[in-house]
Amino acid sequence: MNETPGFFRLDDVKRGEALEIKVDGKAIPAFAGETVATALLAAGLLSCQSHDDRALGVFCNIGQCCSCLMTIDGVSGVRACQTLVSPGLVVESRRLQKRGSRP
Nearer to another protein, 4 or 22 (CB): 4
Sign of the CA dihedral 9, 27, 54, 96? Answer: negative
Site for another protein in 54-73 (CB under 8 A): 54-67, 69
Per CB under 8 A, the list member of 6, 18, 86, 88 interacting with another protein is: 6
Shortest distance, position 33 Cβ to another protein, whole Å? 3
User: Is there binding between residue 23 and another protein (CB under 8 A)?
Assistant: no
Distance of CA 73 to the CA centre of its chain: 13
Q: Please, what sign has the CA dihedral across residues 41, 60, 15, 89?
A: negative
DSSP, collapsed to helix, strand or coil, labels residue 77 as strand
Q: How many CB atoms lie within 10 A of CB 62?
A: 9
H or E segment to which residue 51 belongs: strand 49-51
Q: Is residue 2 involved in binding another protein (CB under 8 A)?
A: no
Sites of contact with another protein (CB under 8 A): 1, 3-10, 12-17, 31-35, 38, 41-42, 46-48, 51-52, 54-67, 69, 75-79, 81-82, 84, 98-99, 101-103
